[in-house]
Amino acid sequence: DVQLVESGGGLVKPGGSLRLSCAASGFTFSTYTMNWVRQAPGKGLEWVSSISGSSSYIYYADSVKGRFTISRDNAKNSLCLQMNSLSAEDTAVYYCAGGPDIGAAINGCDTWGQGTMVTVSS
């Protein structure tokens, strides 16, 4: 079965850091562009970052640029998001999601994890 499993969420103080991970299985991970999408409590979906299958193309939302770093390890079928300088506005469920590589472009996401909650509070 195709599966994405996020981990690493939790409670962190403002200004703190957190590292999210996503373990993939059931598909050829290296051929998928992977994304992080977040959803604040009671709100809509917000794209955070994308990384192409070979890591050649990396994109960030303006709201996280300079604070978050996306990376992947195709040998381990894993995706990571390093989050620094966190604020209350980063509180959300973070979803790992992916779609087939289409070069430098970002594809729609046909595979989603169940999400991991990040709460930024003192």
Partner 1 sequence: EVVLTQSPGTLSLSPGERAALSCRASQSVSSSFLAWYQQKPGQAPRLLIYGASSRATGIPDRFSGSGSGTDFTLTISRLEPEDFAVYYCQQYGDSPPITFGGGTQVEIK
115 binds partner 1 (CB under 8 A): yes
Q: Is residue 93 a contact partner of residue 21, using CB atoms and an 8 Å limit?
A: no
Given 19, 73, 104, 121, the residue binding partner 1 (CB under 8 A): 104
Please give the Cα distance from 79 to 48 (Å, whole number): 14
Question: Are residues 63 and 88 in contact, defined by beta-carbon separation less than 8 angstroms?
Answer: no
27 lines the binding site for partner 1 (CB under 8 A): no
Interface map 50-89 toward partner 1 (x if CB under 8 A): x--------x-xx---------------------------
Decide: 68 and 48 in contact? Cβ < 8 Å: yes
Residues that bind partner 1 (CB under 8 A): 35, 37, 44-47, 50, 59, 61-62, 95, 97, 103-110, 112-115
